[in-house]
Amino acid sequence: MSEGDAADNDADPVRAVAQGTFDLIHPGHVHYLREAASVADELHVIVARDPNVTHKESPVLPARQRRDVVDAIDAVAEAHLGHESDIFVPIERIDPDVIVLGYDQHHDEEAVQAALDERGIDCEVTRAGPREPKYDDELLSTGRIIDRILERRG
C-alpha cells in the first residue's frame, strides 16, 4: 500500500443527507434514496416528525415507524427522526457534505443553501432526478396510493 492509499483510508467518509416524510414507502422513495446514496459513502436520512409536515396531509404512519422502515433500506446508513422545532439540528449533528433534495420536494435549493450558509454549515445542496413509472399503473406518490386504497376499500 502506498502512502496515498493509507491517507485515503484515514479520510472522513463523504456524507449525504436526504430528508422527507416517507409515509407509505413506494418506488419513488427508493429511487430518491438510492440516488442520494450514490453521491456519498454514507447516506443519512432525516424523517420528518408529524408536526413538521405542514405542506401536505399529515402522515398515516407514526414517525418512528416511518424512520424504522427507511432505516431498513440497504442504501441508508442511518435514519434519524427530525427535530421537533429546528430542522437544521440533525443536519448540524450529521455534518453532511451534501444534501440531496427529492426531485418533487417543495424546498427551494437556494433558500436551503442560504440557511445552511447562515448557520455556518458547509455543504452542497443538490436535487435528485425523477423516476419515471415503469408500467402504466405504477404509483409513485403516497397521495395516489391513499387515493387508490380509498377507491378500492373506502
Query: What is d(CA 10, CA 5) in angstroms, rounded to the nearest whole number?
Result: 9
Measure the N-to-C terminal CA separation of the chain; round to a whole number of Å: 63
Q: Which CATH superfamily is domain 12-153 in?
A: HUPs (3.40.50.620)
Predicted local confidence at residue 9, as pLDDT: 59
pTM for the full predicted model:
0.89
pLDDT bucket at 15, cuts 50 / 70 / 90? very high
Note the pLDDT tens digit of each residue in 40-54.
999 999 999 988 888
Domain ranges of the chain: 12-153
Predicted local confidence at residue 51, as pLDDT: 85
Note the pLDDT tens digit of each residue in 95-150.
999 999 999 888 899 999 999 999 999 999 999 999 988 999 899 989 999 999 99
Q: Can you say which residues are annotated as belonging to the binding site?
A: 21-22, 26-29, 104
Q: Can you say which residues are annotated as belonging to the binding site for ATP?
A: 21-22, 26-29, 104
Cell of 28: 419513488
Evaluate if residue 1 carries a pLDDT over 50.
Answer: no
Evaluate if residue 6 carries a pLDDT over 50.
Answer: no
Rg, Å, the chain Cα set: 17
